[in-house]
Amino acid sequence: MEIEKVINKIVQGRLRKGYSYENMAEELHLSVPAYRKLEIGETKLSVERLFQISVILEMPLSELLDIDDERMVQNNYHNDTVYQQKIEHFYQENKEITEQLIRAKDELILQLQKEVEFLKSKILS
């Protein structure tokens, strides 16, 4: 989102609440000229400052940033599904490898048992 849109939302929120530059500056512990520079884009907005403004204006950050909550939920659901699929794939891969190792171990044990029996028969004969 363009910063101009965020600043515009801040101005709209300030006007909706009936706050002046002075009110906002006081709440943010800034001078009036410093706050004004935020609203005209001369001073960059930090995440911390944006959060403070959202609290003062009683506007969620998602609204200030024009983020669609439903889209965020859908994206999170999609990401969760993708991660779940990756975990399932990883589990299946590990399960197959584990089963192969167990089969190889069982075959080795069987081979060694046959060798032991063969050697016993050689010793006893």
What residue spans define the domains of the chain?
3-65, 77-124
pLDDT per residue as tens digits for the range 59-73: 988 888 877 656 655
The CATH fold of domain 3-65: 434 Repressor (Amino-terminal Domain) (1.10.260)
What distance in Å separates the CA atoms of residue 57 and residue 10, rounded to the nearest whole number?
8
Question: Are 66 and 60 contacting, i.e. CB atoms less than 8 angstroms apart?
Answer: no
Residue 11 has pLDDT above 60, yes or no: yes
Q: What is the pLDDT of residue 67?
A: 76
DSSP class of residue 66 equals: T
Give the predicted TM-score (pTM) of the model: 0.54
pLDDT per residue as tens digits for the range 70-94: 665 566 667 778 778 888 888 888 8
Can you list the positions of beta strands (E) in 5-124?
A: none
Q: What is the pLDDT of residue 75?
A: 62
Phi/psi at 118 (5° precision): -60, -45
What distance in Å separates the CA atoms of residue 71 and residue 74, rounded to the nearest whole number?
5
In the predicted model, what is the mean pLDDT of residues 87-104? 88
